[in-house]
Amino acid sequence: MALNQGKHIIEVIDGKRCTLVESGISRNRKEFLQTILEFNGYEVKTAVDEEGTWKIGVTDLVFHAVVDIYKRSLLSPNGHRITPAYWLQLTDHQSEAEVNYWTQK
């Protein structure tokens, strides 16, 4: 899911209703997202499309990737907060995962 798209999609994956996190993704991307989501306590469901690409969803119907990423409520397996750049795999540096764009008073 693009982080500039706020559409919340519900799909049936593996016989369960799921919030669709992303579709049309590679196996590496699926494994990356699955690791993050399972670490954060979500039950993850995956399926292969007809084109050989993957789709991934979570059984928590209230989950919304855009909201949770910008709320900084997701953690990486290393315990760092997930930023948009890390979620989109634009960077793999965990040190960048802790950059705040504001100061808390």
Inform me whether the pLDDT recorded for 91 exceeds 80. no
Q: DSSP string covering the chain, please? A: --TT-----EEEETTEEEEEEEEEE-HHHHHHHHHHHHHTTPPEEEEE-TTS-EEEEES-TT--HHHHHHTT--B-TTSPBPPHHHHTTS---GGGGG--SS---
Which domains can be identified in the chain, with CATH numbers? 10-98 (3.30.70)
Q: What is the mean pLDDT of the chain?
A: 87
Whole-structure pTM value: 0.84
- Rounded mean pLDDT, 84-99: 71
pLDDT at 98: 56
pLDDT at 97: 44
